[in-house]
Amino acid sequence: MSSGYSLGTVEVSSSPQERFADFLQSKGKRITQQRRILIDFVFKRHDHFDAEELILNLAQVPEGRKVSRPTVYRTLNELVDSGLLRRMNLRGRAIYEHDYGYPQHDHLHCTMCDKLIEFQSSELSDLLRAVAAEYDFRDTGHRLIISGICSACSATRHRRQTPLDLV
């Protein structure tokens, strides 16, 4: 992928943990040990995941085993409501990604292997702003997911069958 489409960074004033604690406090809820473990786990790396993948990955670390399945589902919804995570629906499955501290970006979705590729394009942003202006529309953001087939799946799909494929 060309470097012109790579994501940058966004400076934030508070950590995801602090922002989530503030959100919970505004709702009259408290940050429990299970929620703290979950948010630390989710924000250690940036990837796309669903609830079941998160539960399986949590079970592989000792402190993650303390987080119950209902807490995972409930907390994921709260993380979306707080603006820390973004939820996308792909083929009937809820996929989550970091939203807080990450710039506006779009996705390419391979419908064969479910790979998600993030990209950012100033040309696309300019076009969307122009369309909004044409319709006298004040845009506050967008979400674009382009579906198709990635190069790896495309190469596999169009590859000529060999005798080894019959084994």
Q: Is 142 annotated as a binding residue?
A: yes
Cα 148 to Cα 150: distance, rounded to the nearest angstrom: 7
Tokens 């940050």 -> residue: 31
Contacts 24+ apart (CB under 8 A), 59-63: 63/37
Q: Hey, which residues does 98 pair with through a beta bridge? A: 85
Cα 8 to Cα 65: distance, rounded to the nearest angstrom: 34
Sign of CA dihedral 75, 77, 82, 83: positive
How many beta carbons lie within 10 A of that of residue 138, not counting itself? 6
Q: Is 110 annotated as a binding residue?
A: yes
Q: Is 153 annotated as a binding residue?
A: yes
Q: Which residues sit in the known binding site?
A: 106, 110, 113, 142, 150, 153
Q: Which residues sit in the known binding site for Fe cation?
A: 106, 142
Q: Which residues sit in the known binding site for Zn(2+)?
A: 110, 113, 150, 153
